[in-house]
Amino acid sequence: MREKISLFANLKSDFAAGLVVFLVALPLCLGIAMASGAPLFSGILSGIVGGIVVGYLSQSHVSVSGPAAGLTAIVLVAITDLGSFEVFLMAVVLAGLIQVVLGLIKAGTISNYFPSNVIEGMLAGIGAIIFLKQVPKALGSDVEIGSGLAIFTDLIASFGNIKPGVIIITAVSLAILIAWEKIAVLKKLKLLPGALVAVIAGTLLNEIFILSGSSLATTSNYLVNLPVPESIEELQGIISLPSFGAITNPEVWTTAITIAVVASIESLLNLEASVRIDPLKRYASANRELKAQGLGNVACGLIGGLPITTVIVRTSTNINAGAKSKMSAIIHGILLVACVLSIPVILNKIPLATLAAVLLLIGYKLAKPAVFRHFWEKGKYQFIPFIITFIAVVFADLLKGVALGMLISVLFILRGNIKRAYFFRKEKYESGDLIRIDLAQEISFLNKAAIKLTLSHLPEKSKVVIDASDTVYIAHDILSLIEEFKEFTAPEKNIDLVLIGFKDAYRIGNDNINDDALNRVIVEHNIMSSTTKKGSTSHKEVISELINDK
């Protein structure tokens, strides 16, 4: 009861925010469904579920859920591979159940284990796919952009059959969208989102072409085609139901797991972002969000909708419009229901070209050059996983891209861990050199191969100082390796070995560090003056000064 009271406590501001989010969501629901190769009505259904069901169940006060651009590549491929939309819906139901389980086992921290460069590479790849898929629709071509290297040939072929009227509508829509973001006066018109203005302008422009009998008019094949129910019975007839018999299909489970993982990660990342941009910084449980998203996806699958996630575009719009509670998300879902029941005839006048323009801009924002430049400036260890993930997502598929990006990131982490295990004071060594090896704070078994190789290549008759003063943990394997080097390898190669800073618990023999050992190092390097400080300074200080002088 307390929650119900809080929902209506700020109804005035929440209704205004919900109206703005509805105006933004309507073209996006249609556009994402089109980009996903799904019935356009499925996008509206997902928006309704994301607003009402997830909006009510989620703990977040400001986040808004719906069909997400980040899932378009998965949905597009899955519908084709599974053979029918109804079989795909079964995968959506299963994905939702998996998300509920993830929430119950408190897996909400899963997003913390995915590097930002891999996530950004995935989003950039999705953006590129969205952009490329919309090029033919923006030109009025009937070519479908394929996958792999066929993308290039299909893209070239799409320029061979273009329609001037479609191109004009696309250009006008893009101009409005860009102007709405760049011109300060237009940006202040919060109740008129650029996407909605572009849709209205594109629709009116095409109606002018039709009324004037112009050859530029866009035909029905290039317009939104939503079913127009005349009764409740007809509305029930256009709702697709999942094919429950497909539950034994392994491909359905593979698709379900993919959707569950990607949708969960995207939702959790967007949830974290919503908390950061919420003026009141209100906490929202990640585990409860997973359960809410899961139940929402179960509902979407059961009534014929696309999978949903928390969507940062709608969330930021909601916050900027002054939302105070999650009632604004629920109101946006209710307005979508009213829209479908009252004005589907008007929606069917929207040119696909103007929706393509909206998606072209979305795709560009996800994969804009600034993103690539940002990771390039971060260095190769950030850029390489990013660009490999991007390329793999575009030319293979999303799951392989993320997996490959994660693998590269892990390899870089291991390589960096090995390199940071110790530090040499000199790069090249010759016989008789003084060599100092500073061990890092933590030395694990992963460093064994590198340290073993280094010790085996130390030149004969050299003077070696291994300093463990800064270490917190050294693996048993590494201690055994150093002890073996001290007892066998060093004497065989006439290496004077000095150990510094090893804890008593290591039992490696710090007692071997004595004045005679230090004197031999100092005398043989002709720095006799350093011996005068020996009585008032530590072994480490003497060796440090010796090396600095050297």
The per-residue pLDDT for range 400-444, each reduced to its tens digit, is: 887 898 899 888 877 766 655 655 555 454 555 678 888 887 787
Please give the residue range of the domain that contains residue 338. Answer: 2-407
340 and 481 assigned to the same domain: no
415 domain-assigned? no
If one counts the domains in the chain, the total is 2
Boundary of a domain, candidates 360, 379, 407 = 407
Q: How far apart are CA 507 and CA 233, in angstroms?
A: 82
pLDDT at 538 (0 to 100)? 40
Contact 98, 329 (CB under 8 A): no
pLDDT at 286 (0 to 100)? 87
381 and 456 assigned to the same domain: no
528 domain-assigned? yes
Mean pLDDT value across residues 87-96 = 96
pLDDT digits (tens, 9 = 90+) for 164-189: 999 999 999 999 989 887 886 766 66
Q: What residues contact 520, with CB distance under 8 A and at least 6 apart?
A: 463, 496
On the question of pLDDT at 145 being above 70, the answer is: yes
pLDDT at 511 (0 to 100)? 43
Q: Is the pTM value of this prediction over 0.75?
A: no
pLDDT at 173 (0 to 100)? 92
304 and 352 assigned to the same domain: yes
Of the candidates 527, 518, 473, the one whose C-alpha atom is nearest the C-alpha of residue 500 is 518
Residues facing 19 on adjacent strands = none
Residues facing 498 on adjacent strands = 465
385 and 455 assigned to the same domain: no
pLDDT at 386 (0 to 100)? 92
Mean pLDDT value across residues 379-395 = 89
446 and 401 assigned to the same domain: no
Confidence of residue 463 (pLDDT cuts 50, 70, 90): confident
DSSP state at residue 531: G
Helices 72-82, 11-35: axis angle to 10 degrees equals 50
| Tokens matching residue 326 | 């999650």
416 domain-assigned? no
pLDDT at 112 (0 to 100)? 62
On the question of pLDDT at 494 being above 70, the answer is: yes
pLDDT at 534 (0 to 100)? 40
Alpha helices in 212-310 (DSSP H): 232-237, 250-277, 286-303
310 and 186 assigned to the same domain: yes
pLDDT digits (tens, 9 = 90+) for 246-302: 999 999 999 999 999 889 988 887 787 777 778 887 888 889 999 999 999 999 999
Phi and psi dihedrals of 378, rounded to 5?
Answer: -75, -15
Q: How far apart are CA 133 and CA 36, in angstroms?
A: 10
pLDDT at 70 (0 to 100)? 77
DSSP state at residue 161: S
Question: Kindly report the CA angle at 253 between 240 and 303, in degrees rounded to 5?
Answer: 20
On the question of pLDDT at 146 being above 80, the answer is: no
Is the Cα torsion angle 442, 115, 260, 303 positive or negative in sign?
A: positive
Of 36-40, 203-207, 390-394, 470-474, give the lowest mean pLDDT range.
470-474
On the question of pLDDT at 522 being above 50, the answer is: no
Amino acid identity at 473 = Y
pLDDT digits (tens, 9 = 90+) for 64-81: 999 987 788 889 889 999
Contact 301, 92 (CB under 8 A): yes
pLDDT digits (tens, 9 = 90+) for 355-385: 888 888 878 888 889 999 988 988 888 899 9
414 domain-assigned? no
124 domain-assigned? yes
278 and 189 assigned to the same domain: yes
Boundary of a domain, candidates 380, 407, 434 = 407
pLDDT digits (tens, 9 = 90+) for 228-258: 776 667 666 678 889 999 999 999 999 999 9
Averaging pLDDT over each range in 24-28, 174-178, 506-510, which range is the top one?
Answer: 174-178
Is the Cα torsion angle 47, 52, 53, 57 positive or negative in sign?
A: positive
Of the candidates 72, 121, 65, the one whose C-alpha atom is nearest the C-alpha of residue 290 is 65
Contact 393, 402 (CB under 8 A): yes
Of the candidates 314, 337, 366, the one whose C-alpha atom is nearest the C-alpha of residue 65 is 314
412 domain-assigned? no
- Average pLDDT of the chain is 81
240 domain-assigned? yes
Confidence of residue 528 (pLDDT cuts 50, 70, 90): very low
413 domain-assigned? no
pLDDT at 275 (0 to 100)? 76
Mean pLDDT value across residues 504-513 = 64
314 and 179 assigned to the same domain: yes
| Tokens matching residue 253 | 């489970």
| Beta strands, E only, 314-421 | none
Task: Tell me, rounded to whole angstroms, the distance of Cα 428 from its chain centroid.
Answer: 42
Q: What is the CATH number of the domain that holds 510?
A: 3.30.750
pLDDT at 410 (0 to 100)? 82
| Tokens matching residue 75 | 């949905």
393 and 451 assigned to the same domain: no
442 and 495 assigned to the same domain: yes
Contact 257, 57 (CB under 8 A): no
Q: How far apart are CA 358 and CA 396, in angstroms?
A: 25
474 and 378 assigned to the same domain: no
Q: Which long-range contacts (CB under 8 A, 24 or more apart) does 500-503 make?
A: 500/465, 500/466, 500/467, 500/468, 500/469, 500/539, 500/540, 500/543, 501/467, 501/468, 501/469, 501/470, 501/471, 501/540, 502/468, 503/468, 503/471
374 and 450 assigned to the same domain: no
Boundary of a domain, candidates 384, 407, 430 = 407
